[in-house]
Chain A
Amino acid sequence: MRTAHHAEIAFQDWPGIRDEGALHRTLFQGQSGRRDNFEFGIVEFEKERNGSPRHRHVFDQFRYALKGEIEYNPGEAIPEGCLAYFPEGTPYGPFRIHKDSTLLSLQLGGPSGQGFIHRQDLGKAQQALAREGAFDKGIYTWVDAEGRRHNEDAHKAVWRRVTGEVDVQMPAPRYDHPVLVYPDNYKWRPLAGGVSEKLLGVFNERRTSAAMLRIEKGASHKRVPGTQAHLHFVLEGAMAIDDEQIFQRHDACHFEPADGAKLTALADTTVLIYGLPDFS
């Protein structure tokens, strides 16, 4: 098990590919090169931003709106307290951010198994590309040896530089549209005394999932080892893990499949849980 206490993690202004005006608090990263690699963190937007153009990824994403709303398609937005699953290969955008909004971002290897590349690696590639061309509003522009001008989606250009691939092997979409979920409209399903869950959705053949767990003050939930790793993020309340470490609002844990743990609520607590893809 790994832990992340948000107050101990500084916000960073990552080198922007599409994220100008965004501050990132990285809670966890997975392992580079693995199919189930991921990046999990809180992103704060200080100013209104017309973000990325319509695009798609070779990896999956989840976005949960902690504050404000996140517009991901014209007229379609993630309201505060809701989440959306952005499947690999499925187009979305243009992305528009409103001032003072905060989202919980999970980017992770999708079912096609192409993994995910960390920001540090992307940043290095972006710096190299910036010496050869220019980034502007999500587009990378450069002039080749014959003097021809090229425009390419910025993320795609950086991805190609990191992987060395001639072209991005974009997976065909499994879903025709991002899946926007309204958690407030689910009923809590009791699991045991004082513990209940909302299963928000299980997606694709790797069973990548999103759920919420509610533990009433004083009650405990036992996590049992399985085949899937999970990320826990405290939305409300506070809890102790194995009667030792205390997790407050916006703290997080990363459980490997073999990890067992006892979660005890110190106040009425709600936890957002992501199930990472199972490639076993």
Chain B
Amino acid sequence: MKFADGRKLDWSAYTFQKMRAENSVIQKTLLQLDEGGPGDFDFTIVRIDTEYYSPRHTHPWPQVRFVLEGVQNYAPEKDLPTGSVSYFPEGVYYGPQNVGPMTQVLLQFGGPCGLGYPSHAALLKASTEMSKLGKFIKGGAYEKIGANGQVQREDGYKATWEYLKGEPLAYPQPQYAEPIVTLPEQFSWKQVPGQAGNYVKQLGSFSEGQVELKMLKAEKGSRLVHGGEGRRQLLFTANGVLEAAAASLGPHSAMYTEENERMEFDVKDELYGLVITLPSFPTHQGQAAAHAGGSFKSGMQASSATAVARSIG
């Protein structure tokens, strides 16, 4: 279990911009998992006070975006409004995006393809070395002189990933045609069974890894029970105050729970937050079985047998 209080964190330059010596995007890193496994992630608050441009591109990992302030453009005539929660699947192209000003919660994580999510520290180290062999240019490309003496240009992230891993990056084929944008305000609250004062809005569950998105509300004075559902989860608090002996969470805080970790809080001020269930991965044996929790270093994790049964009946 891990906690972060976003109010106590400092803004810093956004990692991918550091690689290109740009500075229009700043971030607060809430939580990271960097163990070299398929379940690694980077959970941040990202702020753009002016503007940011990126060309049409894709990633070998998915994103979840929760817009806190402003409107985020992600493709021509396509915007993420304030309050929206979106799933950007791995392998899906989007952009060019002209973003800003806005503030959003951004989760980038190892997706169902199993390629994982390289740590920002490793990417920065690789890009520093690559800068001696070529140059990163505005817009996200990397240029260097090839063996034939000609300038070679390619996507900067792809070039860095391949330099880091020492192998070609095989992008996963898209499972959806485009990012899935949900408007949580229009969904209905459902009471959490057996938990007075706790409510959820189920926004959706995507990919064979069953990445689940839901909004959570807990009334002031209620008791919030979170986690313990056999899946890894992240909670982000947009508003509210939660208190427990182990931690106190205010607005813009985050919590990470592993498969069978469970946390109880007293709700001191009404909570409105986002819960992201991270993808499950099949076992080496190929059996869906309950996972005992614990380290990601042991490799692939099991699917939740409960979730599977619920999905197909």
Q: Which residues of A contact B (CB under 8 A)?
A: 76, 89, 111, 171-177, 179-182, 184-192, 197-199, 201-205, 207, 209, 211, 213, 223-224, 226, 228-230, 255, 273, 275
Contacts and interface: CB of A to CB of B under 8 A. Distances in A.
**What are the 7 closest A-B residue pairs judged by CB atoms, nearest first?**
A202-B205, A180-B177, A185-B173, A190-B286, A230-B313, A176-B181, A172-B186
B181 A175 contact: yes
A175 to B, nearest CB: 6
Interface size of B as a range: 35 or more
A174 B288 contact: no
Given A176-B181, A213-B312, A255-B313, 19 more contacts: A89-B186, A111-B188, A172-B186, A174-B203, A177-B178, A182-B176, A185-B172, A185-B174, A188-B208, A192-B288, A197-B208, A199-B311, A202-B311, A204-B203, A205-B201, A224-B309, A229-B313, A275-B311, A275-B312
B175 A186 contact: yes
Interface string B193-223: 0000000011111111010100000000000
Contacts, number: 122
A198 B177 contact: no
B308 interface: yes
A17 B311 CA distance: 34
B178 A182 contact: no
Given A186-B208, A199-B210, A211-B312, A191 B178 contact: no
Contacts of A205: 187-188, 190, 201-202
B310 interface: yes
A175 B187 contact: no
Contact of A207 (B174, B202, B207): B202
Given A202-B204, A204-B187, A197 B177 contact: no
Contacts of A213: 312
Nearest to B172: A185
Nearest to B200: A205
A175 B313 contact: no
A243 B236 CA distance: 49
B112 interface: yes
A184 B208 CA distance: 12
B311 A204 contact: no
A74 to B, nearest CB: 13
B309 A181 contact: no
A145 B185 CA distance: 41
Contacts of A172: 183, 185-186
B177 A230 contact: no
B182 interface: yes
A253 to B, nearest CB: 11
B312 A192 contact: no
A73 to B, nearest CB: 10
